[in-house]
Amino acid sequence: TGLMLGLKCAMPNGKVNMALRDQHLLAVPAGDNVIRLLPPLTVTDAEIHDALGRIRAGAKGLSEAIASAAAK
């Protein structure tokens, strides 16, 4: 058993999921533009901070890719 967290995305969850995978963070696409994170109950504060950093980096990379594509 473990925890479950759903993040509602403003774009298709497949794109967000791939951006997270690029950051070596495994997530599960679920429902309508939702990314599901399933950390263990024993997750540490350090692991949570690491995951948040990876989510931020993935979101930034995805945002930059979208802006670059729109500029072309």
Where are the domains positioned within the chain? 5-71
Q: What is the mean pLDDT of residues 1-11?
A: 89
Query: Mean pLDDT of all residues in the chain?
Result: 94
Is the pLDDT at 1 greater than 70? The verdict is: no
What strands lie across the sheet with 28-30, from one edge to the other?
A: 5-8, 34-37, 28-30
Element (H, E) at 16: helix 13-22
Given a cut of 70, is residue 64 above it in pLDDT? yes
> Model confidence over 31-52: pLDDT tens digits?
889 999 999 999 999 999 999 9
Domain 5-71 sits in which CATH superfamily? Aspartate Aminotransferase, domain 1 (3.90.1150.10)
CA distance 52 to 24: 12
**φ and ψ at residue 19, rounded to 5 degrees:** -65, -40
pLDDT for 32: 84
Beta partners for 35?
7, 29
